[in-house]
Amino acid sequence: MSSNAIEIRGLRKTYRGSKGQPEKQALKGIDLDIPQGSVFGLLGPNGAGKSTLINILAGLVVKTAGQVTIWGFDQDVNPRQSRASIGVMPQELNLDAFFTPRAALDVQAGLYAVPKSQRRTDEILKLIGLEDKADAYARTLSGGMRRRLLLGKALVHAPHILVLDEPTAGVDIELRQMLWTNIRKLNDEGMTIILTTHYLEEAEEMCDEIAIINQGEVVARDSKTNLVNRIDAKTMVIHAEETVTTLPEAPGITVETRPDGAVALSYHAHQTSAEQVLAAVRDAGISIRDVKTEEADLEDVFLELTRS
Ligand SMILES: Nc1ncnc2c1ncn2[C@@H]1O[C@H](COP(=O)(O)OP(=O)(O)O)[C@@H](O)[C@H]1O
Ligand SMILES: [Mg+2]
């Protein structure tokens, strides 16, 4: 087997139009490798195609064309093995109101043919912090508890790969922390994690590899560090000793005054050196009291790549 947990080639999905709606090309030929052991982020705005991609991996949506290999198993050739390799926490709550968490986990284990002796129901209840609620009906659980139960269900068959679709959209800070702690722990134990998010901060904090999806296409795929480095826009922010009357001027440098009186000089590091920027400042007769630099973050990369 290759070192990729998932390999996707030429993946397309066209949803048929209904009730006079035109058909929708949700995925337009995706090629993507997701390395084993990574925390991989699928980042993109609403409607980009993230859930469609995840649901195809999960076997919940039927692809229109292309090839998906999960843990070395072609989804079409070895559907059972490929499904057994992956656990998915869906974006939508889809719990049976009349099941208790314990029952929901048992039923899920049964669906995946996990033998009774190998079930880890209590361990999972503990991991998701629902030991106290193990025997309460799902309809009596809070929204946060239900989401935790969804995570538990995704784990019953001890998959190699855990996929989380917008795990923290609309959840409170406490639940978010709990999810992150669990995800890091599972990843430390060797599980490959794939998560979708439209929150840049989340991708920046959690993921080591990122694919940016926009309108059904992968527009960037790199390590987080490389993605951020790709944009070499920098800004030097100068606080002067005295009120600035003459603004610096130099080719390749964009100058603006900030509301607090600071002078912000934006430039591209591959074109202009910090020394050239400082020289322009000195030439304008400004004596520097304080200087800071601001670098691009993932948001800049994202905006640049998803600008349509
Ligand atoms: N069942 C469906 N039928 C028709 N169109 C759909 C269906 N599911 C999603 N879409 C459309 O496909 C596109 C991608 O949706 P989705 O995969 O949910 O994006 P994301 O998860 O990135 O927000 C959107 O334009 C959405 O409206
Ligand atoms: Mg979605």
* 289 and 184 belong to one structural domain: no
302 lies in some domain: no
Mean pLDDT within 210-221: 93
* CB 26 less than 6 A from any atom of ligand 1: yes
The share of the chain scoring above pLDDT 90, in percent, equals 70
* 87 and 202 belong to one structural domain: yes
> Residue 138: is its pLDDT beyond 90?
no
Q: Single out the residue in 228, 250, 273 at which a domain terminates.
A: 228
* CB 49 less than 6 A from any atom of ligand 1: yes
pLDDT at position 66 is: 98
Q: Which ligand 1 atom minimizes the distance to the CA of 21? A: 4
pLDDT at position 231 is: 65
pLDDT band, very low/low/confident/very high, at 293 (cuts 50, 70, 90): confident
Domain of 94, CATH number, reads 3.40.50.300
pLDDT at position 308 is: 61
* 217 and 236 belong to one structural domain: no
> Residue 264: is its pLDDT beyond 90?
yes
* 91 and 222 belong to one structural domain: yes
Mean pLDDT within 291-296: 83
* 209 and 274 belong to one structural domain: no
pLDDT at position 52 is: 96
Q: Single out the residue in 173, 205, 228 at which a domain terminates.
A: 228
The share of the chain scoring above pLDDT 70, in percent, equals 97
Mean pLDDT within 72-98: 91
pLDDT at position 283 is: 93
pLDDT at position 161 is: 98
* 22 and 35 belong to one structural domain: yes
Mean pLDDT within 5-29: 94
* 90 and 222 belong to one structural domain: yes
* 240 and 219 belong to one structural domain: no
Q: How far is CA 137 from CA 98, 121, 143, 206, in A?
A: 6, 16, 13, 33
* CB 6 less than 6 A from any atom of ligand 1: no
303 lies in some domain: no
pLDDT at position 234 is: 86
Give me the chain's average pLDDT, please: 91
Mean pLDDT within 15-33: 93
User: What is the number of domains present in the chain?
Assistant: 2
Q: Which ligand 1 atom minimizes the distance to the CA of 13? A: 12
**d(CA 47, ligand 2 centre) in Å:** 7
> Residue 250: is its pLDDT beyond 80?
yes
307 lies in some domain: no
* CB 24 less than 6 A from any atom of ligand 1: yes
Q: Which ligand 1 atom minimizes the distance to the CA of 49? A: 17
pLDDT at position 257 is: 93
> Residue 115: is its pLDDT beyond 80?
yes
252 lies in some domain: yes
* CB 15 less than 6 A from any atom of ligand 1: yes
pLDDT at position 92 is: 82
What digits encode the pLDDT tens for the residues 150-207? 999 999 999 999 999 998 877 888 888 888 999 999 999 999 999 998 887 788 888 9
**d(CA 51, ligand 2 centre) in Å:** 4
* CB 47 less than 6 A from any atom of ligand 1: yes
* CB 51 less than 6 A from any atom of ligand 1: yes
> Residue 303: is its pLDDT beyond 70?
yes
Residue 251, domain extent: 232-297
